[in-house]
Amino acid sequence: MARTPLPDQETLAKELGVSRLTVKKALDGLERQGLVYKQSGLGTFVSGDIPIRSDIDSPANTVTGLKNEYHNSKVSSKILLFNVEFPDEQIQRYLDVKKIEPIYNIIRFRYVDDKPLVIEHTFMPVKLVPDLDETVLNDSIYDYIHHKLHLKFGHAYRKIRATKSNNYDQEYLDAKVDDPMLEIEQIVWLTNGQPIEYSTSRSRYDQRDYTVLENNRF
């Protein structure tokens, strides 16, 4: 079956009520992640293999943060790494930053009701999230972004996969060498199309699950 191209940038901008530049940045970000591809003279097409596609909110396809996801529980953090550094080529692509633009490199161990749940490894551009400190890291980065910086998330790409446990998992999550781990890789964009986060989070297979509901249109 022939694929139908997406509407052009001008049409998408009118339909979504945003600028054409915002649409271009969003499409460029999706192309970097392999979710769409461009063919000269034909347009932009959705790739055939998309990890998550859904029109219904669920924990797997919303960007809420752990504190809001477990809003009836006590969520706390242990900071394992908090550095400001320059990005490698991979992070430059994911966050659309130059090699001279500093980024945060953060690893946090997250507890829910004092029980170990997840290890998060997060990269963010310093220019978009200024003055980030340990007080914020011990609370909620997303709350800081939304309520202090007044920034809003536009969309996210998320890939969920099973993987083997590593040394961090075994030390902090009490995972066994042969235990499978649930790993979630994601990129989060602001409403203006600028990537603000690239992260991976890892949980034990028996401690967390995700549900995806799809609304297919035929």
For residue 77, tell me if it sits in a domain.
Answer: yes
For the chain, the first-to-last Cα distance in angstroms comes to 14
Mean pLDDT across 163-179: 86
Which CATH number do you get for residue 180? 3.40.1410.10
Mean pLDDT across 161-182: 86
Both 72 and 165 in a single domain? Answer: yes
Q: Give me the percent of the chain exceeding a pLDDT of 90.
A: 25
| Better pLDDT: 206 or 150 | 150
pLDDT band of residue 198 (cuts 50, 70, 90) is very high
pLDDT digits (tens, 9 = 90+) for 59-82: 444 455 665 565 566 777 889 999
Structural domain count, the chain:
2
Query: Mean pLDDT of all residues in the chain?
Result: 79
For residue 52, tell me if it sits in a domain.
Answer: no
Which CATH number do you get for residue 26? 1.10.10.10
* Alpha carbon distance 178, 13 (integer Å): 49
| Better pLDDT: 70 or 5 | 5
Domain that holds residue 177: 66-204
Both 31 and 71 in a single domain? Answer: no
What's the predicted TM-score (pTM) here? 0.68
